[in-house]
Amino acid sequence: MRKFFSYSLIVILLIGFGYGLGNSTILEGTKIGNTLSQMADKLTNEESVVIEGNPVTSEQEQATSTNSVTTSTNDLMKTDEIDVGIVENRVLELLNELRKEVGVSPVTSNDQLKKAANIRAIETEESFSHTRPDGRATFTVLEEAGVEYTYQLAGENLAMGTNYLDEKEMAEWLFKGLKESPGHYENMVNMGFKQVGIGVHYDGENLYIVQLFGTPL
């Protein structure tokens, strides 16, 4: 069975006022096993879409809606190893192709954001959510040692799917899911973002992709 899930989040840090404002989609933290089980119970056709809403607010971020998308099919082939570099590069290519199509300047790959995105990609195996497994807010990852990315604007897109194609095709399939979701699409074409880090994690069955957008101070 193939499954695809994706969530997005954006937050703006307004330095002059000392608070952040976000406008995106977000989902409360859940264990990935429970999420997959819940989604599987809801699948009655070969393809289905599930949209759930659960607004959350905090001092640093405000969520307005949440999306989860799942598709399924049978008789899929699964590989044991992948080249994550191929996935990362293809997602970045598709991202900037999309931005070019809508007349928005491309984003450049940033090493700090890439480190943070890789951390988040691993974390999403445990908790596929914009809340980190330890309960902290998403963008605390930008404060981690070795990352330390100071930003005025940041956003996150999450995608996960059962791995059954080659690396390039999986990147294209997951990107297509993000593109077709309004919240994720808005992040990807946001002209305010200048940089991005693409994180990829494979657990032997599912492929996790994180797009971590940023605009430095």
* Cα distance between residue 12 and residue 23, in whole Å: 8
DSSP secondary structure of 29-44: --BHHHHHHHHHHH--
* Cα distance between residue 90 and residue 72, in whole Å: 23
* Cα distance between residue 211 and residue 140, in whole Å: 15
Model pTM score: 0.70
Give the tens place of pLDDT for each residue, 173-217: 999 999 999 999 999 999 999 999 999 999 999 999 999 999 999
* Cα distance between residue 5 and residue 27, in whole Å: 11
Residue whose pair of structure tokens reads 């977000």 in the numeric block: 26
Q: Are 86 and 117 in contact (CB under 8 A)?
A: no
Give the tens place of pLDDT for each residue, 116-159: 999 999 999 999 999 999 999 999 999 999 999 999 999 999 99
